[in-house]
Structure 1
Amino acid sequence: MSKPTKTEAELVAMARAELQVHADCPDGIAIAVLPDGDSWEFRTEADAPTKAKPGYPECVAMIVQIGDHLSKQYDVKG
């Protein structure tokens, strides 16, 4: 049985909503969906000042965790 599909924008919005609940992340973190074989994962990007802010590494780790559980629930629309 296949998983429901979401667009990249929908998946990123879901991740951002979950981040607001769990973490106090600095602004300026870009999230993208990277296809990975039959699955996908989140990739983050930020400028140097954002990366230097407190909590940045924890937020990236949280985004990876969110992507891991969302990728088990949803496929990304190609």
Structure 2
Amino acid sequence: MSKPVKTEAELIAMARAELKAHLDCPEGIMIAVLRDGDSWEFRAKADELTVAKPGYPECVAMLVQIGDHLSKQYDVG
């Protein structure tokens, strides 16, 4: 059975909402969807100032967990 399909923008919006609900992430984190065959995951990118801010590593770790969770529920279209 196939999973529901979401756009990259929808998945990123869902990830941002979950991050906001769980952590106080610094502004400036860019989230991208990285596709690999039939699977996908989130990638975070930020400038040096954002990376140096408190909470950045925790937000990236949480983003990975959110991506694992969402990739089991949705395909990217």
Structure 1 runs, 4 residues or longer, greater than 2 Å off: none
Q: What percent of counterpart residues are identical?
A: 81
Count matched residues. Answer: 77
CA RMSD of aligned residues (A): 0.4
The alignment's TM-score, normalised by the length of structure 1, stands at 0.97
TM-score, L = length of structure 2: 0.98
How far off its partner does 1:67 sit?
0.4
User: Which residue matches 2:60?
Assistant: 60
SS of residue in 1 equivalent to 2:54: coil
What amino acid does structure 2 have at the position aligned with 1:23?
L
Q: In the TM superposition, what is the alpha-carbon distance from 1:36 to its structure 2 partner?
A: 1.5
| Long gaps (5+) in structure 1 | none
Tell me, which stretches of 5 or more residues in structure 2 are unaligned?
none
